[in-house]
Structure 1
Amino acid sequence: MTISVIMPVYNTKESDLRTAIESILNQTYRDFEFLIINDASTNNAEDVILSYKDERIRYLKNEKNLKIIGTSNRLIDEAKYEYLARLDSDDWCTPDRLEKQVAYLDEHPDVGVLGSYYKIMPDDRWFPIPTEPDDTTLFVRYCGNCISNSAVMMRKSIIDKYHISYNTSALHAEDLKFWSDMSEHCKFANYPEILSFYRISPDGVSSQNRAYQLKMVLTILMDNIIKDFANDKDYMYSILIKFIKGEPVTDEEFTYTQQFLIGIVNILQKHMSYPINTLVKSYVLSRLAYFVREPKPENQPK
């Protein structure tokens, strides 16, 4: 056996939880453990889980609510096998997901994290994301998250060797921080087929938290960019600290950072076969430009 399917559960609606569980139990690849951790749910989630008598299910329950970061870390710690396939409890996957992802990882030992195309529900829409290892790894490290939790299969040995975990200091961007830490030790890829379905939650990130999330995402990406590319790391980190604290930057710092980011965009354009030109205009440059636009330079007109 090589796969641990891991699923965190907290107060998931019964119909959604059953859809998620059954999408795993009905996989064409049959040999896996299905580790489910109930994060002290207050609804009937436990009864739903225990209604399944499949011997592959290993059920654990947190004594108190650890929330998603604590539960995700416990899932990784408790998992017994090398390939960790995650599925959130309100999402589901295609019957051949595990079979296809195991075959890919077996054939690509340098890839440590494998996602896939996924559909966003109930809108029934999807977005193209990079698939090749070089493109996907660069994207995760410098552009943002292109790995869906409910589509990912990753190597536990890398997580254990480098003591990687979900970090509360990156709240609302803990997934990207986790992938960022992984990207220092392995390549990423996305399987070029839709293998999972991501259900949008009405209880998602609030507008207030979304602003904080964006700031955390930009901080993580800028930290990677500075570590990997900046000649004057101390100077760039001093600007990053100002951004984190919400302090104004000078005209010199503003211009230096803009030129630095444009240079990074040019590097990405040369090294990615994924269509970075369009992406830069619509996402990367506009998002990273936020880093130098807000707050405005201290002597710039309001």
Structure 2
Amino acid sequence: MTTIMKDTPSISVLMPVRNAETFLKEAVDSILGQTFTDFEFIIIDDASTDRSPEIIRSYTDSRIKFIQNKSNQGNHISRNIGLEKACGKYIAAMDTDDRALPERLLTQYHYMEQHPDVLACGCLFYVNSTIISKPLNDRDIRIALLHDNCFLHPSLFIRTEVMQAIGGYDKEYRYSADYDLVCRISLLGKITNLPDVLMEYRMHKEQISQKHTDMQKHYADRIRNNYREEIMKRMPPVSIVIPLRIESTEREANLHCVLQYLLRSPFVYIDLLEADKERHFFFTHHERIRYRFVHDEEPVFYRTHYLNELLREAQHSIVGIWDADVLIPEAQLIAAVWHVLGGCVLCFPYNGKFRFLEKERSNAIRKDMDELQAGEGYCLLGRPSVGGAFLVNKTKYLEAGGENEGFYGWGPEDAERVKRLEILELPIARTKGLLYHLHHERKPDIGVDNRKKAQHNQKVLLNTCRQSKEELTKALKCHTGIFSYLDNHN
């Protein structure tokens, strides 16, 4: 047992109380029974009308500081009242209907002392004897916060100076102030969940989250949007490259929609290359779009070749390779960028599932992108998709061969790309969420022996699959075989 008594405690445990007599004693006992004893326990009674004040007064432990609100102020305002009285180096949140396991404060205190760059930490917890997992590291947490809160609030352990710097809880978000709190902390620096199970969480019908579900969702939506907007301001610039061959007015309409959608993210810059017998795409000038036309008489669109040109010319170190018909929610794009920044050579900004949108829905979304509803459209069964859109570390991806120009037309290059990086043992990631594909009629290549083309592409794919890491590395360095095209650019 760690027993360190000082004039200024190491930890201030904050627990507001409002008509909590049913579970209150168990919660209080779980804090007073901690193996780490150098703390003050600030209990704020929010004008309870039951036996809660009486239960609290029954304790004689000198570490308890009892504050009573004259009128009902609300959960998070009460926490701020406690914060004003706190003397500890750290703030530990606590709720009256949960139980802290004996090692909670000791484990979190030691972690924060050993990791001065971390601003706050939570932990895993039990619900009805089941361990609830949460994202642990800072990057995964920032990604998760784009969608929802990923912390058990009463498990939070925060540096007091950080709480004071951000002004505590924002009373504007009455029923979701904990989500807002961790978002604001995350914007300041590192935040994590410990892998230790240190709390028992109790679910019951009197919880705020159960009694005020609609209002909580309303506030959470506002917090989520604010967080995403702030994150977007801090994102590094990203080049999205799109090679074009427009066969129909429908595909042109898709492209306009995709461009408009991508440009909603202020960190995105777009490079377009149209290769055809004549120019079909025209657009109003935009400061974040670069366009180039290449005269090309070939019946089959040499997409891999033009992608390599676009990759080499891209302005930024992170490059997205996009089809002209796909939409991906902004949060997934942000998450993919973070994965590449974190060391991945390639990241798919979706979970491998395409959602194909019918013609009528595609028409509606082209007119109003906010018409896109999560999970709509039909999904093809089979293996996870490896096409449509992905982001790469430009330098490392080109060193790994870039796009394989041995392919003629579309299809197998998507599978070969992933297989090659796997053989080279280069990290690949995926984000959560779906990719949405706008409708367009597919037209066969005219004047092309499709059977011969398929056989050729199959040989190119198998040629990569049969190589060892050493053989593939040598081929890349020597620019031989399927990578001989590199000779023209070095």
Q: What TM-score range do you get, normalising by the shorter chain?
A: 0.7 to 0.9
Bigger RCO (CA 8 Å, 6+ sep): 1
**Could you tell me which amino acid in structure 1 is paired with residue 54 of structure 2?**
D
Question: Contact 2:335–2:349 at 8 Å: present in 1 too?
Answer: no
| 2:151 is aligned with 1:124 | no
- 1:212 Cα shift? 1.3
The equivalent residue for 1:212 is 218
The equivalent residue for 1:265 is 335
Q: Relative to structure 1, is the Cα distance of residues 301 and 90 closer, same or farther in structure 2, using a 3 angstrom cutoff? A: closer
- 1:134 Cα shift? 4.3
Question: Contact 1:111–1:133 at 8 Å: present in 2 too?
Answer: no
Question: Contact 1:92–1:150 at 8 Å: present in 2 too?
Answer: no
Within a 5 Å distance, the mapping from 1:192-207 to structure 2 comes to 192-203=195-206, 204-207=210-213
- 1:207 Cα shift? 4.5
CA–CA distance in structure 2, aligned partners of residues 164 and 46 of structure 1:
28
Within a 5 Å distance, the mapping from 1:122-201 to structure 2 comes to 123-136=128-141, 138-139=142-143, 141-160=145-164, 162-201=165-204
Question: Contact 1:18–1:48 at 8 Å: present in 2 too?
Answer: yes
- 1:18 Cα shift? 0.5
Question: Contact 1:141–1:224 at 8 Å: present in 2 too?
Answer: no
| 2:166 is aligned with 1:96 | no
- 1:194 Cα shift? 0.6
CA distances 1:152-174 after superposition (whole Å, capped 9, x unpaired): 111001222x2422113333321
CA–CA distance in structure 1, aligned partners of residues 83 and 47 of structure 2:
18
Q: 1:42 aligns with which of 46, 49, 66?
A: 49
**SS state at 2:135 partner:** coil
The equivalent residue for 1:226 is 232
**Could you tell me which amino acid in structure 2 is paired with residue 10 of structure 1?**
R
The equivalent residue for 1:244 is none
Greater C-alpha radius of gyration = 2
CA–CA distance in structure 1, aligned partners of residues 78 and 351 of structure 2:
37
Question: Contact 1:144–1:217 at 8 Å: present in 2 too?
Answer: no
| 2:77 is aligned with 1:74 | no
- 1:280 Cα shift? 6.2
- 1:255 Cα shift? 6.0
**Could you tell me which amino acid in structure 1 is paired with residue 202 of structure 2?**
R
Question: Contact 1:173–1:216 at 8 Å: present in 2 too?
Answer: no
- Identity among equivalent positions (%) equals 25
Q: Relative to structure 1, is the Cα distance of residues 280 and 101 closer, same or farther in structure 2, using a 3 angstrom cutoff? A: farther
CA–CA distance in structure 1, aligned partners of residues 349 and 79 of structure 2:
31
Question: Contact 2:336–2:348 at 8 Å: present in 1 too?
Answer: no
- 1:148 Cα shift? 1.5
The equivalent residue for 2:470 is none
TM-score by length of 2: 0.49
Cα root mean square deviation, aligned: 3.2
**SS state at 1:184 partner:** helix
Q: Relative to structure 1, is the Cα distance of residues 37 and 171 closer, same or farther in structure 2, using a 3 angstrom cutoff? A: closer
| 2:79 is aligned with 1:63 | no
CA–CA distance in structure 2, aligned partners of residues 193 and 98 of structure 1:
12
| 2:14 is aligned with 1:6 | yes
CA–CA distance in structure 2, aligned partners of residues 183 and 45 of structure 1:
34
TM-score by length of 1: 0.77
Within a 5 Å distance, the mapping from 1:281-300 to structure 2 comes to 281=351
**SS state at 2:201 partner:** strand
Q: Relative to structure 1, is the Cα distance of residues 251 and 188 closer, same or farther in structure 2, using a 3 angstrom cutoff? A: same
Aligned residue pairs: how many?
Answer: 266
- 1:44 Cα shift? 0.6
CA distances 1:53-92 after superposition (whole Å, capped 9, x unpaired): 1111110101111101211111211111111111101111
Q: Relative to structure 1, is the Cα distance of residues 213 and 153 closer, same or farther in structure 2, using a 3 angstrom cutoff? A: same
CA–CA distance in structure 2, aligned partners of residues 48 and 147 of structure 1:
29
The equivalent residue for 1:246 is none
CA–CA distance in structure 2, aligned partners of residues 278 and 63 of structure 1:
55
- 1:101 Cα shift? 0.9
| More helix, by proportion | 1
